Amino acid sequence: MPPIKLTLNGKPWSVDADPDMPLLWAVREIAGKTGSKFGCGAAQCGACTMHVDGQPVRSCSTPIGSIAGSKVTTIEGIAEGPQAKVAKAVQDAWIKLDVVQCGYCQSGQIMSAVALLTDTPKPTDQDIDSAMNGNLCRCSTYVRIRAAIHEAAKALEI
C-alpha cells in the first residue's frame, strides 16, 4: 500500500498506515502529536477535534484514508496556521478566564471554538450552543467556555 499523503500543521505528511486507521491515532501515535485527545472513539465527545481543510472534524471517527490530500490542523498547529489570529484570541481568552479544569477536553473545545469564530465572528449564545454541543466537558467548564468565546469575539472586533 502506498503511503497516504496529507499536510499536517502546514508540513507535508506521508503516513504509512492502514487507511481505516482513525486520523486521531495516526496523529497521536505515528506523528507523535498528543495534544488531540481520545475521549470516546465514537464521535460523541469532541476531545479529538481537529480541522480538516478548515472544518472541525471528529478525528477518532475519520479514517485517514478518507482524507488523503487534505490539510490537517491540530491544536499544536492552530496558532501558526491561517487561523492564527482567531486561535490566538481564543487561547488568550481561555487563559484569561481560566477556563480549564482537568484540561483533557480543552484542545477539542478550542478547535471547535476557533472554527465557530472563523465562520461566525459574533456568535450568539444559541450559535455557541449549536457549535459546541458536540464537545463534552466532564468538568463542566461550560460557563467559562461560553464566556471565553464571547471574550475572544470581542477581542477580534478590535
Partner 1 sequence: MPDGHMPENLDSTSRRRFLQVTGGAGVGLMVGFTWTATGRRALAAPAAKGLEPNAFVKVAPDSTVTVLVKHLEMGQGVFTGLTAIVAEEMDADWAQMRAEHAAANAKLYNNSAFGPIQGTGGSTSTYNSWTQLRQAGATARAMLVAAAAQTWGVSASDITVSKGVISSGTHSAKFGELAAKAAALPVPADVPLKDPKNFTLIGTRLPRKDSVEKSTGKAVFAIDVVQPDMLVAVVRRPSKFGAKAQAVDAKAAKAVKGVVEVVEIPRGVAVVATSYWAAHQGREALKVTWDESQAEKRGTDAIIADYKALLPKPGELVTKEGDVDAVKAAKVVKAEFSFPFLAHAPMEPLTCVVKLGKDGCEIWAGDQFQTVDQANAAQAAGLKPEQVTINTVYAGGSFGRRANLESDYIVEGVAIAKALSDAKVQGGKLAGRPVKLIWSREDDIRGGRYRPIYVHGMEAKLGADGSLLAWKHRIVGQSIMAGSMFEQKGKPDNTSVEGAAEIPYDIPNRLVDLHTTTSPVPVLWWRSVGSTHTSFAVESFIDELAAETKQDPVAFRRKLMEKHPRHLAVLNLAVEKADWGKPLPKGWARGVAVAESFRSVVAHVAEVSQDEKGRIKVERVVCAVDCGIAVTPDVVKAQMEGGIGYGLGAVMFGAITMTGGVVDQSNFDTYRCLRIDEMPKVEVHIVPSANPPTGVGEPGVPPLGPAVANAIAALTGKRIRDLPFTGTVSV
The smaller minimum CB distance to ligand FES, of residues 139 and 156, is found at 139
Piece of the chain touching partner 1 by CB under 8 A; list 5-13, 51-59, 71-79, 114-122: 71-79
**Packing angle, helices 142-157 and 84-96, rounded to 10:** 130
Q: How far is the CB of 106 from ligand FES (least distance, A)?
A: 6
- Shortest distance in whole angstroms from residue 9 CB to partner 1: 11
DSSP notation for 11-56: EEEEE-S-TTSBHHHIIIIIS---SS--S-SSSSS-TTEEEETTEE
> Can residue 142 be called a binding residue for partner 1 (CB under 8 A)?
yes
Class of residue 3 by CB neighbours under 10 A (exposed 0-12, middle 13-18, buried 19+): exposed
Task: Please report, as residue ranges, which positions from 12 to 51 form the binding site for ligand FES (by CB under 6 A).
Answer: 38-41, 43-48
Strand partners, 19: none
Q: Mutual orientation of helices 142-157 and 106-119 as an angle, nearest 10°?
A: 40
Question: Which H/E stretch holds residue 4?
Answer: strand 4-8
What track of x and - describes contact with ligand FES for positions 95 through 134 (by CB under 6 A)? -----xxxxxxx----------------------------
Instruction: State the DSSP code for 58.
Output: E
Residues that bind partner 1 (CB under 8 A): 18, 21-22, 25, 28-30, 32, 34-42, 44-45, 47, 74-76, 79, 91, 94-95, 98-107, 110, 128-130, 132-133, 135-146
Residues that bind ligand FES (CB under 6 A): 38-41, 43-48, 58, 60, 100-106, 137-139, 141
